Amino acid sequence: MKTRITELFDIEAPIVLSGMSWISTPELVAAVAEAGGLGILATGVCHPRQSREYIKETRERTDKPFAANVTLYFPESKHNAKVLIDEQVPVLNYSLGKGDWIAEAVHAYGGKVVATVTTTKHALAAQRDGADAIIVTGHEAAAHGGDVSSLVLVPRLADLVDIPVVAAGGFADGRGLAAALALGADGIAMGTRFMSCKESPVPENQKANAKKMDIHDTVYTNRVDGLPARFMRAAGALRMMKSQVNPLTALISSRRIAKMMEMSWAKSFAGIMLAGPAKATQMARMAIAFEAFEAGMMQGDNERGVLPLGQVTGLIDDHPTVAELFERLLTGAQEASARTTASLATDQGSESGTQT
């Protein structure tokens, strides 16, 4: 299958594994690369040394192109971005920040840059800042999708920018892939679907929980980590939706995160304070949520933790390997496309056909 993103990223299928912290590990990224797609290695919760090791391990597992992501939300995240640039990752994915300096540095070594956005404003900014493509995340998505559904967001942004668009949020099967291409996208990115693949490190109990969930069993709230995001409707998420930010807990959590990521806590703290009270409160929530994310995603604990989950969970009822999933996506897209073409065909030759 050929689209602008298969050409741009030098891959065989227009299918991207989203960068999910703790989940989009070298093993899963390499499995996606070997199947012909683009895996985004998640470095959001890694300290720079671990990011470097992850990149090395991914290269040991595959010689195909892959991406790595950086979330520019926290003041110290630029250290991770610099590692990704220094390692010359083939594709660098950034979100929640201004990426002009990233585009310049990545283009200097011949790499590609893809920005993740949820609005028209940020799509235009990414194009202006030099991104080669955008990932457009609609409301259906797990975690930080926008407030507009993919059905509307994707065609709007595909019309708005000249660079290729990857549709994310609400895609899990071949029908979705064909639909995204019909809406003007050049490919899809998926989180929820890949999370339940065999190679995903999410605990089996959590994969089984997600399998039981239907399309209505998620919540969209800004009260878990301070930004609007979607989670499995379970005890931990419902509790956090009612909770207030406790400044002392936030302080302790942020200190632990800074230590884990080998960041200067004093510098991070000063940066957060300088960002103003609204952003400081958001970041305090994010610091507290960090441990809940880890408990939900890595320990399978939905009482203490939360699990980001997209509405598309209601379309998923098995745990294929990545290779099996790719096969299914590509065949399903061809079938959906053939069905659509047949439905759209004029009724020439049909005896009972009526035309208006």
Ligand X SMILES: Cc1cc2nc3c(=O)[nH]c(=O)nc-3n(C[C@H](O)[C@H](O)[C@H](O)COP(=O)(O)O)c2cc1C
Q: Which of 14, 19, 90, 155 binds ligand X (CB under 6 A)?
A: 19
Q: Nearest approach, Cβ of 135 to ligand X (angstroms)?
A: 7
* Three-state SS at 6: helix
Q: Is 286 in the site for ligand X (CB under 6 A)?
A: no
Closer residue to ligand X, CB minimum distance, 40 or 341: 40
**DSSP annotation of 204:** H
Q: Is 118 in the site for ligand X (CB under 6 A)?
A: no
Window 33-52: residues binding ligand X (CB under 6 A):
42, 44
Q: Which of 8, 308, 330, 333 binds ligand X (CB under 6 A)?
A: 308
Q: Nearest approach, Cβ of 110 to ligand X (angstroms)?
A: 25
| Structure tokens that stand for 95 in this block | 């979100």
Q: Nearest approach, Cβ of 297 to ligand X (angstroms)?
A: 6
Window 121-140: residues binding ligand X (CB under 6 A):
137, 140
Q: Which of 25, 43, 58, 95 binds ligand X (CB under 6 A)?
A: 95
Write the single-letter amino acid at 61.
R
Q: Which of 178, 181, 195, 316 binds ligand X (CB under 6 A)?
A: 195
Q: Nearest approach, Cβ of 2 to ligand X (angstroms)?
A: 23
Binding segment for ligand X (CB under 6 A), chosen from 15-23, 213-221, 275-283, 320-328, is 15-23
Q: Which of 297, 306, 329, 336 binds ligand X (CB under 6 A)?
A: 297
Strands in 43-155 per DSSP E: 67-71, 91-95, 112-117, 133-137
In the chain the first and final C-alpha atoms are separated, in Å, by 35
Q: What angle, 0 to 180 degrees and rounded to 10, lies between the N-to-C axes of helices 247-260 and 277-298?
A: 60
Q: What is the DSSP string of 209-272?
A: HHHH--TT-EEEESTTTSS-EEEESSHHHHHHHHPPP-HHHHHHHHHHHHHHTT--HHHHHHHH
Q: What angle, 0 to 180 degrees and rounded to 10, lies between the N-to-C axes of helices 322-344 and 174-182?
A: 50
Q: Is 141 in the site for ligand X (CB under 6 A)?
A: yes
Half-sphere exposure of 222 (CA within 13 A, CB side): 10
Footprint of ligand X on this chain (CB under 6 A)?
A: 18-21, 23, 42, 44, 95, 137, 140-144, 168-171, 190-193, 195, 297, 307-310, 312
